[in-house]
Amino acid sequence: MWKRVSVCCQRRHQTQDCGPNRHLDRNTCQCVCNVLPAPTCPLNHVFNKDTCQCTCIKTCPRHQPLNKTKCSCECNESPNKCFLKGRRFHQATCSCLRPPCEVRRRRCEPGFSFSEEVCRCVPSHWRRLE
């Protein structure tokens, strides 16, 4: 009987190398997980029958990419990164905010407009580039 199953598996081009965490089930000629039943996975994980491992399924907002190793959302920015840019870190949005301009000039010369970004008058045509 074993010989017939082995031939069946060979005909189906199944190899005995099923990859990590899997083995060839000689009764079905299919690769199956070494761990059965599926283990209980931690929060935000599900058992993936293809890889035979718990896989992170957490979804993150755009500004907080997923760290697959930790299965957590992490900010792109940090207080130190923002400080180096001359800005303040805003935890709720994981972003760097520029502090408001201390002195805002009420009027700029003709052809110039006030920029909140650099807190001074800049050529008006620069505004069109934004």
Q: Which amino acid is at 60?
A: C
Burial 84-105 (b: 16+ CB within 10 A, else e): eeebebeeeebebeeeeeeeee
Q: What is the pLDDT of residues 3-31, one digit of tens each?
A: 444 555 654 444 457 878 888 888 888 88
Q: What is the pLDDT of residues 31-42, one digit of tens each?
A: 888 876 667 899
Q: What is the pLDDT of residues 56-83, one digit of tens each?
A: 999 998 888 999 999 999 998 999 999 8
CA dihedral (62, 68, 73, 74) in degrees, to 10, reads -90
Q: What is the pLDDT of residues 93-115, one digit of tens each?
A: 889 998 888 776 668 899 998 88
Q: Which amino acid is at 48?
A: N
Amino acid 57: pLDDT: 94
- Answer whether 81's CB lies under 8 Å from 96's CB: yes
Q: Which two tokens stand for residue 115?
A: 């920029």
Burial 24-62 (b: 16+ CB within 10 A, else e): beeeebebbbeeeeeeeeeeebebeeeebbbebeeeeee
- pLDDT reading at 119 higher than 70: yes
Amino acid 52: pLDDT: 86
Q: Which two tokens stand for residue 36?
A: 């059965």
Amino acid 6: pLDDT: 52
Judge if pTM exceeds 0.75: no
